[in-house]
Amino acid sequence: MHRDLNVVPDVVVYTSLIDGLCNSGRLNEEKRLFGEMVSRGISANVTTYTCMIHGHCLHGQQEEARRYFDEMIDRGILPNIITFSILIDSLCKDGNTEDALGLFKLMDKINIKPDQITYSSMIDGLCLAGRLQDAVKLFDSMVDKRLQPDVISCSILIDGYCRNRKLDEALQLFKKMKQKGLQPCIVTYTILLRGLYQDGRMKTAQRFVNEIQSFGVSPNEVTYGTILDGLCKNGNFLEAIELFESMEGTGVLADVEMYAVLIHGLCRAGKLEDARKLFNEIPEKGLVPDVATYTTMIAGLIHHRISLEANKLIIQMEEKGCLPNSITYDTIVKGFLEGNETEKALLFLRKMREREFVPRDSVVSLLINTLSAGELKNLVLFL
């Protein structure tokens, strides 16, 4: 700290340095600098503590962030709306909804009014915790307090409704936000589309796809992925392929997840040659197949009784450093059992156990129902 130049840093300088260290993840250095500041008799203020709380939340250290929060209160330093919002948001994302609610109630006790950001974080936390009714009550209380919900808070609650299969309520809120003059963003549309596809409401979903295009809202990778997944899961494979091919002119590049979605859909539809073509196209686009994409293609090959090619793909997968996971092995074992290729199923089950993966209950049940009494006796040795 330039002691040789006789520069005496004040709380503003220390706070600025602490903030920089926190943002870059150098939290041990932040603690040392904070200790130095205190030892020199310089009192931290609300900004100092808020910077440290934000830094520790940002890097997944919620307990340390909460310790700083409690320390600042013990020292008589009152948190502000930013301090509360940062910690509430972090706690909610980490699944500590009750702790977040406790802080939210504390705000009321010390007469700090939550803003839209605080409400949005808390509503999101309640939705993620499966407490939709409480989320709706909190949303309504925000309106009662004449705090106008914004696009983010509306989108969060729409997502909560969709996740709980309450599509009519989601559509009603979507309609209300437009009536209030709020323009839905692409995130809002994507959330709603995901819910509609999951509920099989294809006509309504298509109406919103058309609305996106007519309003000039630009779909992103997540939106395209959502639409492709929705079309495939509802059997509209031709539309999915057409959409995928039309993406080239939009500036949105296909990612590996989109390829995996389409390959899975094509395999399910019996269009194995088209699935193969797409899979082989992945490296040509400068992309690397991930474990999910390999697993999807392998499952399709096994399902269509092309086990030799499936085996080659499994070997290729490992050679390229993409190791099969438990889902891959479950898929392979299940596929071979359903194709009455018991020996191959048991071979991969043995490999699975060598890598300390445990088959899912559904795979174990299939094994029990498929194998003979003698095979079942041997099965016990490696299950």
- pLDDT tens per residue, range 159-201: 999 999 999 999 999 999 999 999 999 999 999 999 999 999 9
220 CB-contact burial (10 Å; exposed 0-12 / middle 13-18 / buried 19+)? middle
What whole-number distance in Å separates Cα of residue 289 and Cα of residue 283? 8
Whether residue 33 lies inside any domain: the answer is: yes
Q: What is the pTM of this model?
A: 0.83
Hey, what are 279's tokens? 């899979």
Q: Residue 214 — pLDDT band, cuts 50, 70, 90?
A: confident
Residue 112's contacts (CB-CB under 8 Å, 6 or more residues apart) are 79, 80, 81, 84
Rounded to the nearest integer, the mean pLDDT of the chain is: 91
- Are residues 49 and 22 in contact, defined by beta-carbon separation less than 8 angstroms? no
Whether residue 57 lies inside any domain: the answer is: yes
Number of domains observed in the structure of the chain: 1
Beta-carbon neighbour count of residue 30 at 10 Å? Answer: 22
Q: What's 22's domain CATH number?
A: 1.25.40.10
Among 104, 184, 181, smallest CA distance to 157 is for 184
Among 80, 156, 155, 79, smallest CA distance to 122 is for 156
- pLDDT tens per residue, range 138-169: 999 999 998 999 999 999 999 999 999 999 99
- pLDDT tens per residue, range 224-254: 999 999 999 998 988 999 999 888 878 888 9
Which residue shows structure tokens 């870059």?
Answer: 24
Beta-carbon neighbour count of residue 330 at 10 Å? Answer: 24
- Are residues 255 and 246 in contact, defined by beta-carbon separation less than 8 angstroms? no
DSSP state for residue 200 in the 8-state scheme: T
Whether residue 154 lies inside any domain: the answer is: no
Among 104, 98, 112, smallest CA distance to 46 is for 112
Check residue 353 and give its pLDDT: 87
Whether residue 20 lies inside any domain: the answer is: yes
Strands (E), the chain: none
Whether residue 15 lies inside any domain: the answer is: yes
Whether residue 54 lies inside any domain: the answer is: yes
Structural domain that includes position 53: 7-79
Whether residue 17 lies inside any domain: the answer is: yes
- pLDDT tens per residue, range 275-297: 999 999 999 999 999 999 999 99
Among 22, 26, 28, smallest CA distance to 57 is for 22
What whole-number distance in Å separates Cα of residue 235 and Cα of residue 194? 15
Whether residue 14 lies inside any domain: the answer is: yes
- Are residues 255 and 223 in contact, defined by beta-carbon separation less than 8 angstroms? no
What is the 3 state secondary structure string of 289-346?
CCHHHHHHHHHHHHHCCCHHHHHHHHHHHHHCCCCCCHHHHHHHHHHHHHCCCHHHHH
Q: What is the largest CA-CA distance in the chain?
A: 86
